[in-house]
Structure 1
Amino acid sequence: MARIIKSCLQSALKCVNLIMAMVGIAMILYGFWMVRIWQRDMGGSSFDDFNSTAPWFIYTFLGTGITLCLLTCLGHIAADTANGFCLFCYMVIISVLLLVETGIAADVLLNSEWEKDLPEDPTGRFHDFKEFVESNIDIFKWIGFIIFLGQGLSVLSAMALRACGPNQCSNYDSDEEFNQTRLPLINNHPQQPAYVIVDPPFANKNEAWNMNK
């Protein structure tokens, strides 16, 4: 029973962990597309025009996507091995990521001038992405909800799997399979009398003494 529960938790953690993998891959692909568009725009301008301000939005987008993919790999390894240290690191990173996302969402919703806190984007990709999100706000609300839900379920699944322990199931199996075979071997040792080895010499002497009579 414990093995079945642990297997279900491992499968659940891998499934919800795939949500971040899909988001990370989508962000990387979109980031490469923005890099290609930016390089095409740079073709008709000198590099000094873009050197004043770095394309921070593209770098941030790519970095976030790569981080999510690496975090997905860590979550898959932690779910497969059920190692307590890996699960703890995974839970801490996901919790920090949730806090950062919550802070960003609160700043965007509560601060009407949140764009002034960001540096200027020379590529113009940030403005285009903002307009794309605003034109499909209902879809992005569901996407954000699914991401938050998947990360929350990842933390809960990792906590439950860490509570089960890495070797708990194997200990139960070894107790059930081998204890019944070990007990007779242990109980047989005290049943063997110590004088059995000495009996044959005495028996031979008695027979020889009776024959001499």
Structure 2
Amino acid sequence: MASLIRSFLQSLMKMFNAIIGMAGIAMVIYSFWMIRVWHKQTGHSPFEESDYPFPWFIYTFLGLGVTFCVITCSGHIAAETMNGCCLYLYMMIVFLLLVLEGVITADVFLNHNWEQDFPKDPTGNLHELKVFIRENFDFCKWIGLPILAAQGLSFLLAMVLKALGPHRDRYYDSDEEYAASRHPLLRNSADPPHVADSLYAPRK
């Protein structure tokens, strides 16, 4: 029964991690699109040195997307192995990400001049994203809430899996501790008599 519960929780954690991973892949694709637009406008890649201002928004969005993908991979490994160190590391990364998201969200909703806290975006993508969110607030809300819920539930499931511990059937004792009846192949069986020797043996 305990093994079934662990397997069910592992599957749930992998599913929620897949949601985070899909969000990360979407952010990486959007970052590549912004890099393409920046290259068309300036003739330079954002990763090259140029006289244009630093496109920090592209770097930030790309970094967040890669971070989401790394969290998904680490969460899948932690859920599959149920290793204590992997689960602790995963919980720490997700907790820091939740704190960062909470701080940014609180700053945006409570501070009316929140744009002054960020450096000027030379690409203009931050303004376009802000306008898109305002015009499609309900749509963005129903996308953001599942991602946030997936992060929180993944954190809780990692805590539960850490409390349950690993599968006991994954750890085996040495063969010497088993009874002789458990491993008959390890016995030294006597050699059967040879039929040919008995046929050609000299008769008295």
Q: For 2:139 and 2:129, how far apart are their aligned partners in 1?
A: 14
Unaligned 5+ residue runs, structure 1?
A: 45-49, 186-213
Alignment partner, residue 7 of structure 2? 7
1:40-65, CA deviations, whole angstroms, 9 ceiling, x for partnerless residues?
A: 00139xxxxx6352000011000100
- TM-score for the superposition, normalised by structure 1: 0.76
Alignment partner, residue 129 of structure 1? 129
Q: For 2:130 and 2:116, how far apart are their aligned partners in 1?
A: 14
1:3-45, CA deviations, whole angstroms, 9 ceiling, x for partnerless residues?
A: 111100110100011111010000000000000001100139x
Q: For 1:51 and 1:119, how far apart are their aligned partners in 2?
A: 17
Q: For 2:51 and 2:118, how far apart are their aligned partners in 1?
A: 18
Higher helix share: 1
1:107-130, CA deviations, whole angstroms, 9 ceiling, x for partnerless residues?
A: 000000000111111111111111
Q: For 1:129 and 1:168, how far apart are their aligned partners in 2?
A: 49
Alignment partner, residue 104 of structure 1? 104
Deviates more, 1:114-123 or 1:50-59: 50-59
Deviates more, 1:136-145 or 1:19-28: 136-145
Deviates more, 1:120-129 or 1:30-39: 120-129
Larger Rg: 1
Provide closer, same or farther for how the CA distance between residues 184 and 52 of structure 1 changes in structure 2, counting only shifts above 3 A.
Answer: closer
Q: For 2:52 and 2:125, how far apart are their aligned partners in 1?
A: 17
1:50-106, CA deviations, whole angstroms, 9 ceiling, x for partnerless residues?
A: 635200001100010001101100000001111011001101110111111011100
Name segments (4+ residues, structure 1) moved above 3 Å: 181-185
**Same amino acid, percent of matched pairs:** 50
Alignment partner, residue 91 of structure 1? 91
Task: Summarize the alignment of residues 1-213 of structure 1 with structure 2, pairs less than 5 Å apart.
Answer: 1-43=1-43, 51-170=51-170, 182=179
Unaligned 5+ residue runs, structure 2?
A: 45-49, 183-204
Deviates more, 1:12-21 or 1:143-152: 143-152
- TM-score for the superposition, normalised by structure 2: 0.79
Q: Is the 8 A contact 1:133 1:140 kept in 2?
A: yes
Alignment partner, residue 47 of structure 2? none
Q: For 2:179 and 2:5, how far apart are their aligned partners in 1?
A: 28
Q: For 1:77 and 1:184, how far apart are their aligned partners in 2?
A: 37
Q: Is the 8 A contact 2:3 2:167 kept in 1?
A: no
Provide closer, same or farther for how the CA distance between residues 81 and 184 of structure 1 changes in structure 2, counting only shifts above 3 A.
Answer: closer
Q: Is the 8 A contact 1:13 1:157 kept in 2?
A: yes
